Structure 1
């Protein structure tokens, strides 16, 4: 199919009414047209007509839990294109008009439970159109929290989470990672709260609208995949961490957050030294309420983080390094489809570890990598080495998503140690430069690897086993396993304890999250009630301040139907919203049948109002009777 032509850059004015000055805006790269780049999770037909820019002008209505206003879309289309197809998942479309005021015809097609429905708009020659709309009722991308669910209890809170394909519940656009777009926004909010977005702020103090509200403006001049448009609104304060970094959080936790993430500027410097300049201007972070479903989300300029990372010892700052690394792998070079998600998460997990090594030293990085490798092996053992769930290039709904993180990172680490770090780093830096602000497929990466690293060396090709890594299940036999001396010492302590040692002989002073996890995961699943009591009382596990430690401990307690831990389990399931930590606890409860299911169902009934819609979907899927 013919491709649409693009200019290198243009000058633009942000959506009328925001009062922005002219600024340079890059035109997105063309959508890939190779067969493996076909995105089955979008209704868009970007080779015919595609969105290049989205200008939002929205009001946040906390009382009715919706956003409403307009989205003005710039369209690049073939001369004979009759329509543009967008993705919609329940939005209330009120009107569509062209730039000259003409009313444009539109229709919403048959809705699919997963994908939503196509929103087809007749162009009638238009190349810019404005959609007036209201976000979908109970939009999956938006979580509206009452003030009681926040740390301060003074103001309500809203945050969005668009990955993978749920931004189509509040933004009418072509919701595919391979269709990169620039964007701008004016967000109007009630007095007393402030919005932040995944773009540069143009009005930090806001402009009063005269009706008890203020408007704030944002822009993103780099083309990004639509899932990276993000918004949060709440009672927030800011703390500067470095010349281009800082953290937002509720006043009650902002100082703790600033102390926990104080090394971020060092991380940015380390990342740039490895793989080239940081191209997004600022790197700020937002600590969200506990209902945030992920550890972190790599929204450009404004990484969203879970408060479970704040443990006072910076032992979970690998998550910050991970989200920062996405500024290159994922945000700069993006998987064209979600089957290529390992190009995002596998690259980033590898890069994260390199940042941690540069900032904290080889042993600490080895500790993280060792624990990841252990978890990868556990996934492969559970699913079976021939299961398609262990493939890198695969439909993300086929199996555990974390295999893309750990197997992908192991693949890249194996290349590094095979060709040498200097050669590998030079290649990766050039790779990010060659494909900056472009979508990428697995086939495209392998072709680039062969052209610019392997260079026809048949012996190296056979040694690397590139295709086997990318397209076959299981773990190739050339995989490089990282080893941590710190975790080896924990293994020794664990062996003594499992042989009958006393709890008081387990010296946990100064243990990081990773050491705790190695110890708890290494305990036999079957324990006596007396031994469980010794562990719980001696190590303060049920009431640990570390949510990772609690999750791992509860798996053991539940496996043995340890009743004294049940009150703490119920509190945990109510207070924590991070899927990574909740899923194993619910799974363990459900495995215990008539003992565990009532605890799981009762806890969920209590916790559901505070869970993110994505978390609700995960837990409800688990609770369905087999």
Structure 2
């Protein structure tokens, strides 16, 4: 979830204008968060050679990009880059030109120690206290600080990687493992190889290196962690295969082959990250159903730009809660929906009710996706789907649409308009007779009061149904849970703030930004406190 005018880079303007272009020319931008003109040229495959330098906190890299021109006389290829030191660029082994419709561009480069995609941990920051650790977090637009690429979710490509690490460490990536060997250039290092044959966007490229061990927890699933936690992690995630099978019954075949879970150190900035073949997680099984669901909604069918992020997250929350419905009960799903509505209210109150970032499809022109991150695309997106489910036939009927939507747009990236057109075509008879659905599309996108009243009415109705069910808690427990009184966070805020300010300088910038948002700390003033 991240090149001037790419609004993601917080360096001075002279440093920000570092897109990497083969032959100077005009670049027509189609994504406000990327320099890439994906309507003119697309990346089909990446071949990566990465050397991890833990002493200097940099990656020395070489990437061969297979690119396809989509128009005649194409002469300009622009790649997103951030803080990369580029050593050389060649095309088809020659000085930079693009002689044919399908070309291979080779870029040799080095990352910066401050690359926003990379978090380097000292041995003292790990559980074992003996070896360093590295993990990446490329969503939304940070892959450009690790690899020069077309860093937009509109582009999907396969990749192959060879990663050299010290022999005491193990490397894993968001791809299927393809063997290992001693580095022929340095006997003290090991090269790990990986292949990803399913096309995916750049933000899903992920790498981890550390003193890792793994345990098999299913026929296609392993859990990875430092040895101090690996057995506990294997126990914690032992139900992963059951969740995978349930998701397949709902959404269709799992196409990624392996589904591994990697338990990261506490400095990882999210509860989980849906990297294909290797979900990043913190040690709680609650997040796995969500990340499993992303294997279909997000990874297989992807938002075309980050302005349409709700297509990833709203559908994923919907599928996650359908998995909960299958494994637990309908009441469980309704209970989760009640809490999600409160999360949405909290985000709207934080941004301000009239803030355009509370729109379902916000404009990100000159806005960083990191700044726009909130529960809005998750819970407003889910609330819309929840409302449509009620209008169009119930959970089983609407889940049929979701599965059909996944099959129709698999391996591609879509916009909200494309989603809407498919929805209306799928339910053409019901839409024809439903004035609200036909007339309120702008309300859905902008979250106007009329739409919110309709959706809130559905949530309240579901809450009433839940309270009347045999599986419900008492109304008092529900109300306290929804109001978050159970957690009584304010009671601990002073201590949380003290720890955050003491350690903020050593935190990954994405982690720092998210925590400061939760604590309502002005980051620009935090350093002086």
When normalised by structure 1's length, the TM-score is 0.71
Equivalent-residue separation in structure 1 for 2:374 and 2:105 (angstroms): 37
2:133, 2:211 within 8 Å by CA — same for their partners in 1?
Answer: yes
Choose from 460, 468, 477 the match for 2:443: 468
List aligned pairs for 1:474-493, cutoff 5 A.
474=449, 475-479=451-455, 480-481=458-459, 482-483=462-463, 484-485=466-467, 489=473, 491-492=475-476
- Separation in 2 of the partners of 1:40 and 1:487? 47
1:163 match? 139
Counterpart secondary structure, 1:425: helix
CA distance in 1, matches of 2:375, 2:435: 27
- 1:326 and 2:294 matched: yes
After superposition, the Cα gap between the structure-2 partners of 1:387 and 1:618, relative to the gap in structure 1 and judged at 3 Å, is closer
Equivalent position SS for 1:176: coil
What pairs with 1:235-246 in structure 2 (closer than 5 Å)? 235-246=211-222
Question: Residue 442 in 1 paired to residue 416 in 2?
Answer: yes
| TM-fit CA distance, 1:460 | 2.4
SS at match of 2:511: helix
Please point out which of 92, 99, 115 is paired with 1:139: 115
- SS class of match (2:280): strand
Alignment of 1:522 onto 2:485: yes
The verdict on how the C-alpha distance between 1:251 and 1:461 changes in structure 2, with shifts beyond 3 A counting, is: farther
Superposition pairs of residues 197-276 of structure 1, within 5 angstroms: 197-203=173-179, 205-209=180-184, 210-276=186-252
Q: Give 1 or 2 for the bigger CA radius of gyration.
A: 1
**Does residue 290 of the first structure (1) align with residue 266 of the second (2)?**
yes
In structure 1, how many angstroms separate the alpha carbons of the residues matched to 2:87 and 2:134? 23
Matched, 1:348 2:316: yes
Distance across 2 between alignment mates of 1:384 and 1:622:
16
Q: Secondary structure at the match of 2:454?
A: coil
Question: Does residue 326 of structure 2 align to residue 358 of structure 1?
Answer: yes
Secondary structure, counterpart of 1:341 in structure 2: helix
**Helix, strand or coil for the counterpart of 1:521?**
coil
Aligned residue in 1 for 2:503: 606
Pair 364,260 (structure 1): closer, same or farther in 2 beyond 3 Å? farther
Q: Deviations over 1:196-249 (max 9, x none)?
A: 10011111x544534200101111111111100000011111111111112111
1:71 alignment partner in structure 2: 63
Query: How far apart, in 1, do the equivalents of 2:508 and 2:72 lie?
Result: 43
Structure 1 unaligned spans of 5+: 1-34, 105-121, 310-316, 496-516, 524-551, 559-565, 574-585, 587-598
Higher RCO (CA < 8 A, seq sep 6+): 2
Question: Residues 473 and 391 of structure 1: is their aligned pair in 2 closer, same or farther, counting only changes over 3 Å?
Answer: farther
- Distance in 2 (alpha carbons) for counterparts of 1:137 and 1:494: 47
CA distance in 2, matches of 1:304, 1:372: 22
Q: 1:623 aligns with which of 510, 523, 528?
A: 523
Report how far residue 45 of structure 1 moved.
1.6
Structure 1 CA distance for aligned equivalents of residues 431 and 65 of structure 2? 47
Shift of the 556–127 alpha-carbon distance from structure 1 to 2, 3 Å rule, reads same
Residue in structure 2 matched with residue 405 of structure 1 by the alignment: 378
SS in 2 for 1:615: helix
Alignment partner of 2:39: what SS? coil
* Equivalenced residues, count: 476
Q: Secondary structure at the match of 1:624?
A: helix
**Structure 2 Cα separation of the partners of residues 292 and 457 of structure 1:** 44
The 2-side partners of 1:619 and 1:127 are apart by 43
1:556 Cα offset (Å) = 3.1
1:460-498 deviation line (CA, Å, top 9, x unaligned) = 252574442223345533222143549963652588xxx
SS in structure 2 of the partner of residue 356 of structure 1:
helix
TM-score, normalised by the number of residues in structure 2: 0.84
Q: SS of the counterpart of 1:96?
A: strand
Equivalent in the alignment of 2:172: 196
Distance 1:327 1:240, change over 3 A: same
2:191 and 2:492 map into 1 onto residues whose CA distance is 50
Aligned to 1:183: 159
> Are 2:123 and 1:150 aligned?
no
Q: How far apart are residue 399 of structure 1 and its match?
A: 5.0
